[in-house]
Amino acid sequence: MPHLPRTRHRTSSSKPGRGRTHRRTTAVAAVSALALTALAACGTSSSDDGDSDGDSGGNADAAAPLDPGTKVTLTIDCMPPAAEKAELKQWKEDVAAFNKKYPNVTIEGKQTDPCLEPPRFTAMLKAKSQPDVFYTYFTDLQQVLDNDGAQDISAYVNDKSVPALKDMDPNVLNVLKKDGKTYGLPFSNYTMGLLVNRKLFEKAGLDPNSPPTTWEGVRSAAKKIAALGDGVAGFGEYSAGNNGGWHFTATTYGLGGDIVSKDGTKAAFNNDTGKQIVDNLKAMRWDDDSMGKTQLLKWGDLQKQMAADKLGMFLAAPDDITYMVQNLGAKYEDFGMGPIPGQQATLFGGNDYMIKKGSSPDQIKAAIAWINFKFLTVGKGQFDWARTKADGLPVGLPQPNFWTGDSKAKDDKARAASSTMPVENFQAFTEKPVTGKAEPPKAQEVYKVLDTLMSAVLTNKDADADKLLKTAEQQVNQVLANQ
């Protein structure tokens, strides 16, 4: 799914679908189960209360948090693999800490790397073989519901079971709802911005602390950076693997446009906004020669160019920086971020955990208690920034951050106090947050169509913008008609 799978703090929105980082393009990794507590049990509830009818509707007290004395077992995927020693250490520590309050809850972690590989995920849903608590991208809800895979947890999610619920970004929570029902809780999120190579900006006489905020500014800066020569491109763009369509969508949102109509039934990009995007790319690629000659790029290609100081800018989420540092030998201080050009809206995505349909009430409560402890509590679990720093993992990127209000203030302060990178490099991105906007329906199929448009304009000097947009519109309408 382009936005490649983001799983753990990548040590990798949907790309197209990317979750927490780890948008790796790895094939299916081996899946192994590891029991992390001393209690051995199968992946179904061992509760003795007899209230395990496979549907949460039968529990008269769903709103009450889990009783600490409850005995239950949960299988949970996306446990860090053995190669990620620090993350696995933290997972085990958190299981132990969780068991101090809930000593009879057995957490059986499944090591899946990447956390979600689309063909495997689809096969799992069809076979009803998902773990009790399973990882998904924000874009996966409809697929999960089509396969009757997730439990409605609306009655179980409240300010007692998830105390920081009121401080979560409502845009993030709404992605996990359908027809007023809640089916998941967030794990991580991202929004798109303009990633810049600070060294190349300075060499070109540009201010890396003030990245361009308009496409006119991007074009101007790209020409100056490309003028450095030595194979340096000023701006890079995807046009393969559905990533081109994903970026066309992000660019459209930044300019205040839409990819599909409000009711989700028709394409909405064959207009002045769509033509502006195509014409601008065509001008940078062919008139300015500021995008380099190598095209048909997919996720991972631009990161390699940026890490090698051969690329000045591209649209990205903050965790691209972590990937470049940890996988490509780059340095955090060499990068910065600004908002998406246009700043009208920005594409957002992320990942979450859902609970398998048919889980017992005790399993649902235990799952929510674990998700809350590990992923939704400021200062604990994934938000224990002091521990993250002590374990040699990066601290200071502005995302994941789905907090608002007091929780955001508290988390921002703790994150800054333990930062391992110059957080001021991201100030232009964080000081005026751009409103997030969800991916379109049938996102991957839509992106595949738009890839053709992107590849055409970047590889054919004589490409006809009007014709490309009309053809893409017709094809996206066909996709949407088959929902």
Residue type, 80: P
Residue 16 has pLDDT above 50, yes or no: no
CATH assignment at residue 257: 3.40.190.10
Assess if residue 469 is contained within a domain: no
Q: pLDDT exceeding 70 applies to what percent of the chain?
A: 88
Calculate the CA 321 to chain-centre distance.
Answer: 14
Say how far apart CA 45 and CA 61 lie, in whole Å: 17
Assess if residue 441 is contained within a domain: no
Say how far apart CA 133 and CA 49 lie, in whole Å: 21
Assess if residue 245 is contained within a domain: yes
Residue after which a domain boundary falls, among 427, 452, 478: 427
Please, which residues bridge with residue 33 across strands?
110
Assess if residue 467 is contained within a domain: no
- Same domain, yes or no: 187 and 202: no
Strand blocks (E) in 356-471: 436-437
* Dihedral sign computed on CA atoms, order 298, 300, 301, 302: positive
Q: What pLDDT score was predicted for residue 401?
A: 84
Residue 256 has pLDDT above 70, yes or no: yes
Domain that holds residue 249: 193-316
Residue 271 has pLDDT above 80, yes or no: yes
pLDDT digits (tens, 9 = 90+) for 323-332: 899 889 999 9
- Same domain, yes or no: 184 and 265: no
How many independent structural domains does the chain possess?
2
Residue 42 has pLDDT above 70, yes or no: no
- Same domain, yes or no: 157 and 130: yes
- Same domain, yes or no: 99 and 1: yes
Q: What pLDDT score was predicted for residue 60?
A: 52
Q: What pLDDT score was predicted for residue 52?
A: 36
- Same domain, yes or no: 65 and 124: yes
- Same domain, yes or no: 298 and 373: no
Peptide bond into 398 cis (omega under 30): no
- Same domain, yes or no: 27 and 67: yes
Over range 426-447, report the average pLDDT: 90
Q: What pLDDT score was predicted for residue 127?
A: 97
Residue after which a domain boundary falls, among 427, 445, 470: 427
Q: What pLDDT score was predicted for residue 119?
A: 87
Assess if residue 26 is contained within a domain: yes
Give Dmax (Cα) for the chain.
72
Q: Which tops the pLDDT comparison, 274 or 45?
A: 274
Residue 48 has pLDDT above 90, yes or no: no
Say how far apart CA 207 and CA 336 lie, in whole Å: 11
* Alpha carbons within 13 A on the beta-carbon side of 476: 32
pTM of the full predicted structure? Answer: 0.80
Q: Nearest to residue 469, comparing CAs of 277, 259, 270?
A: 270
Q: What pLDDT score was predicted for residue 85?
A: 93
DSSP one-letter code for 194: E
pLDDT digits (tens, 9 = 90+) for 144-167: 999 999 999 999 999 999 999 999
- Same domain, yes or no: 144 and 200: no
Residue 1 has pLDDT above 90, yes or no: no
The residue assigned the tokens 């998904």 is: 136
The residue assigned the tokens 């909405």 is: 268
Peptide bond into 68 cis (omega under 30): no
Please, are residues 408 and 164 in contact by the beta-carbon 8 Å criterion?
A: no
Over range 225-234, report the average pLDDT: 98
Q: Which tops the pLDDT comparison, 118 or 320?
A: 320
Please, which residues bridge with residue 311 across strands?
233
- Same domain, yes or no: 108 and 175: yes
Q: What pLDDT score was predicted for residue 228?
A: 98
DSSP one-letter code for 155: G
- Same domain, yes or no: 56 and 154: yes
Three-class DSSP category at 320:
helix
- Same domain, yes or no: 108 and 252: no
* Alpha carbons within 13 A on the beta-carbon side of 140: 35
Q: What pLDDT score was predicted for residue 407?
A: 95
Assess if residue 417 is contained within a domain: yes
389 confidence band (pLDDT: 50, 70, 90): very high
The residue assigned the tokens 């908002």 is: 339
Residue after which a domain boundary falls, among 427, 444, 462: 427
Assess if residue 438 is contained within a domain: no
57 confidence band (pLDDT: 50, 70, 90): very low
Three-class DSSP category at 394:
coil
Say how far apart CA 260 and CA 249 lie, in whole Å: 10
Q: What pLDDT score was predicted for residue 420?
A: 92
Assess if residue 325 is contained within a domain: no
- Same domain, yes or no: 4 and 126: yes
Residue 360 has pLDDT above 70, yes or no: yes
Residue 465 token pair: 């913008």
